[in-house]
């Protein structure tokens, strides 16, 4: 469970630092809409790569994570 929380926190941080979502869409997705297409850097920790199922790559998209459910928590900090 701790690894899952770490990975989710890392993903949220990467989303915030990458700038990609801001480039992908001028407006946030509508309620029930789809997340814009963007790519994230693969975590440097091999254990995290294996957990996400994204080992052997440089970048990945959210749909490429091997999981039944992926939760994304986005923080809006000013």
pLDDT (0 to 100) of residue 33: 79
At 9, is the pLDDT very low, low, confident or very high (cuts 50, 70, 90)? low
What residue segments make up the domains of the chain, in order of their start?
Answer: 2-64
Task: Please say if the pLDDT value at position 18 is more than 70.
Answer: no
Please state, in angstroms and rounded to a whole number, the distance separating the CA atoms of residues 49 and 56.
8
* DSSP secondary structure, 8-34, as one string: HHHHHHHHHHH-HHHHH-SSPPPTT-P
At 63, is the pLDDT very low, low, confident or very high (cuts 50, 70, 90)? confident
């Amino acid at each position: 469970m701790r690894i899952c929380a770490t990975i989710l926190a890392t993903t949220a941080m990467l989303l915030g630092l990458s700038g990609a979502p801001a480039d992908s869409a001028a407006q946030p997705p509508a309620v029930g809409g789809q997340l814009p297409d963007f790519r994230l850097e693969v975590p440097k920790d091999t254990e995290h790569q294996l957990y996400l199922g994204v080992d052997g790559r440089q970048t990945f998209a959210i749909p490429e994570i091997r999981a039944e459910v992926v939760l994304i928590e986005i923080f809006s900090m000013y």
